[in-house]
């Protein structure tokens, strides 16, 4: 949109720039060859420059525009080509916005041989010399000393309360939580299973590791998760499936309907 200027000399200079469509096209052709389509519009940038937009008529650039910025001083007939550029239009096909890898990475992306270092400000971790905020059944902080006593070594960083809460949420909603299809299909739960090895610290109340190689072996399971391999599961009575009585075809009398 070209707005009128209180200075008639400026208006005249702008009018010359707006009329210089051929000069703008020539400048773009010198850069892009013959891939310049119809003239779209002229846009005033300031008092002495105007940008001309053309359709970019070249394969792979649908919706893009060539533009040439022309400039001239008020009172001077000479026009300068300041810049030529290829720019995406509103409907242009462009690359998705770049996202740093640290924000792109998702659970399950880690493969053998990959390294994934926690950042310095990772809220899931706290330095090992401060209180982790964790508590056991007596609501006593489980700190560095507790952890060190437990494994015989000190660790530089421990999981924060936030990190533990996030993990608890993930595990509860995950494949080995109380809402998983497996858990919903049994009345036997991990809390009473001999294969269930409780975690330590505050997570102990709700989570443990399954040590049954035929079930969720090595996975963190919720106390309300469960499966058909529970340690108290009764063996079938010999009639086949515990859910349905066996079909004994020796006890069936065959009757001819005729």
The one among 54, 66, 196, 207 contacting ligand SF4 by CB under 6 A: 196
Task: Establish if 229 lies at the interface with ligand SF4 (CB under 6 A).
Answer: yes
Task: Establish if 215 lies at the interface with ligand SF4 (CB under 6 A).
Answer: yes
Nearer to ligand SF4, 27 or 190 (CB): 190
CB neighbours of 229 closer than 8 A, spacing ≥ 6? Answer: 195, 212, 214, 215
The one among 49, 51, 65, 212 contacting ligand SF4 by CB under 6 A: 212
Nearer to ligand SF4, 201 or 226 (CB): 226
Sheet with strand 49-56: strands edge to edge: 36-46, 49-56, 64-71, 80-88
Distances, alpha carbon 78 to alpha carbons 45, 52, 73, 113, 163, in Å: 18, 17, 8, 64, 67
Q: What angle do CA 208, 211, 212 make, to 5 degrees?
A: 130
Interface with ligand SF4 (CB under 6 A), residue total: 15
Nearer to ligand SF4, 142 or 206 (CB): 206
CB 71 within 8 A of CB 64: no
Nearer to ligand SF4, 32 or 229 (CB): 229
Using CA atoms, how far apart are residues 76 and 70, in angstroms rounded to an integer?
13
The one among 55, 67, 216, 220 contacting ligand SF4 by CB under 6 A: 216
Residues numbered 162 to 191 that lie near ligand SF4 (CB under 6 A) are 188, 190
Q: CB of 181: closest distance to ligand SF4 in angstroms?
A: 13
Task: Establish if 36 lies at the interface with ligand SF4 (CB under 6 A).
Answer: no
**Interface with ligand SF4 (CB under 6 A):** 188, 190, 193, 195-196, 210, 212, 215-216, 221, 225-227, 229-230
């Amino acid at each position: 949109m070209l707005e009128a200027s209180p200075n008639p000399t400026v208006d005249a200079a702008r009018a010359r720039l707006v009329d210089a469509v051929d000069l703008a096209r020539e400048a773009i052709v010198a850069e892009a060859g013959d891939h310049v389509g119809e003239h779209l519009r002229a846009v005033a940038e300031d008092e002495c420059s105007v940008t001309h937009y053309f359709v970019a008529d070249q394969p792979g650039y649908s919706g893009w525009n060539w533009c040439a910025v022309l400039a001239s001083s008020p009172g001077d007939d000479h026009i300068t080509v300041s810049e030529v550029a290829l720019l995406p239009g509103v409907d242009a096909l462009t690359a998705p916005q770049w996202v740093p890898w640290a924000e792109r990475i998702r659970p399950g992306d880690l493969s053998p041989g990959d390294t994934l270092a926690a950042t310095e400000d990772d809220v899931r971790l706290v330095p090992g010399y401060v209180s982790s905020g964790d508590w056991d059944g007596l609501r006593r902080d489980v700190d560095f000393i507790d952890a060190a006593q437990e494994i015989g070594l000190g660790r530089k960083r421990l999981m924060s309360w936030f990190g533990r809460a996030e993990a608890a949420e993930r595990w509860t909603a995950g494949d080995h939580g109380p809402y998983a299809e497996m858990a919903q299909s049994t009345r036997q739960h991990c809390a009473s299973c001999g294969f269930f090895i409780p975690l330590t610290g505050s997570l102990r109340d709700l989570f443990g590791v399954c040590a049954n190689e035929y079930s969720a072996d090595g996975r963190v399971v919720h106390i309300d998760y469960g499966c058909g391999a529970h340690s108290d599961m009764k063996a079938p009575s010999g009639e086949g499936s515990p859910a349905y009585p066996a079909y004994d075809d020796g006890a069936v009398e065959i009757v001819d309907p005729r």
